[in-house]
Amino acid sequence: MKILRSVLLLFALLVLISSSQGCGNSDCVLTGFVNCGGGGGGADKSIINGTVASVTNGSVSGIKVRAERNGEKVASDTTNSDGDFTIRVREGVILLEFETSTFTVARMFTITEDSEVLLIVSLGQNQILVDNWEVLQDPIRCDNNQNFIIVEDDLVDFTINGNGKDCIRAKGDCLIDIEVQNIMLNDCNEGLLAEGSASVTLEALAFPTLTIDAESNGIHTKGDSSVTLIGGNIFVTSTASDGIRAEDTSDVEIQPSGLCEIKGFDEPVQQAQTATVVTGSCTLIGGN
């Protein structure tokens, strides 16, 4: 499964480099795309609420902010007296350009579908410093021939609020790869459900925190699916079922470099058939 995941991720990134056009029914491999085979492609479903906190030798007001894709402007706004701006874009990779009275700077950003981005930047003559970058993400649904990839080094705090639904649901040969600073899955029914041959990797870089807070299973795998969690401190909690439930030939691997706790109302880890679960140094807490 790990070899297959690597091949699929490499393929997805190669396609990303060669194209950033809209997603067709069987071409859902671009960074940030999810549910793109559902017929709603092209809608500007994501919003960036941004603030320019400071400008070298300049004012934060009156800055022209443009979002471009493939050299074409897709959205724009002008900062107010507080440096605030708002633009709506569809998912994928965009170039965000800031034009002040004396210079223009730009940076690539990954925007995921059905998300709200809270972005604070400081502008210099030759650079954009990201002071704060938070992604508030709706639950992720990923099916056959679909990928959801966001790899942004150590900048992004990524939060999924399930509102009582499954926070992440991956089916078929879906590939999900999220590598950011902090990852939080909150108010989930099942935190992460992977079925079929789906491959899911969540990685919180450096020594931040990766948390899954669910009512039902924190992690639930079926079929030949694979789930890997990597992070500094990792916490998986189920308040009414198992912390990790693995079935069939699926596998789950937890790789903490700091604190790690797997809590289940019933059991911290439940394995069925020939499924495998590797929890490393995690503390397992279960039983009601």
Domains and CATH numbers, the chain: 1-41+139-288 (no CATH), 43-133 (2.60.40.10)
Residue 163 has a CB neighbour count (10 Å cut-off) of: 12
For 67-101, the pLDDT digits (tens) are 999 999 999 999 999 999 999 999 889 999 999 99
Listed in order, strand segments (DSSP E) in 164-214 are 168-170, 175-180, 182-188, 192-194, 199-204, 209-214
Of 269, 271, 209, 203, the C-alpha closest to 235 is 209
Residue 154 confidence class, pLDDT cut points 50, 70, 90 = low
> For the chain, what is the mean pLDDT?
87
Question: What whole-number distance in Å separates Cα of residue 32 and Cα of residue 65?
Answer: 21
Predicted structure pTM score: 0.84
Which H or E run contains 223?
none
Average pLDDT over residues 127-155: 91
